[in-house]
Amino acid sequence: MGSGTEIAHASANALLIGNDLRKFAATLKTARWWRAVILQNFYGTLIVDALGIGLAAIGKINPLLAAFIHVPSELTFILNSTRLLPRFTRQAQLD
């Protein structure tokens, strides 16, 4: 049947090359950091949009104002994502 190495490479979500488990621990820590920032952005966007839609639906604010609130909030979450860049470049330099 062969070595099966190519099948393992193709089907794996993560592939460890080498014997240094410290790199695996660092990669896992970085992945958890990225996930936390992504979830912050995702839930933050949902909350801001739900508030804007809710307030516009009950007539507390103009729907156009809700749309204008949406734009800076999205910019805020995009800027929040930039926190990942220094860690990403540092991780790439370690490899």
Residue 91 is which amino acid?
A: Q
Query: b or e along 26-36 (b: 16 or more beta carbons within 10 Å of the residue's beta carbon)?
Result: eeeebeeebee
- Is the CB of residue 91 less than 8 Å from the CB of residue 27? yes
pLDDT of 4 over the 60 cut: no
Mean pLDDT, the chain, rounded, equals 82
**57-77 confidence digits (pLDDT tens):** 999 999 899 889 999 999 999
pLDDT at 27: 81
Cα 54–82–93 angle (5° rounding)?
A: 150
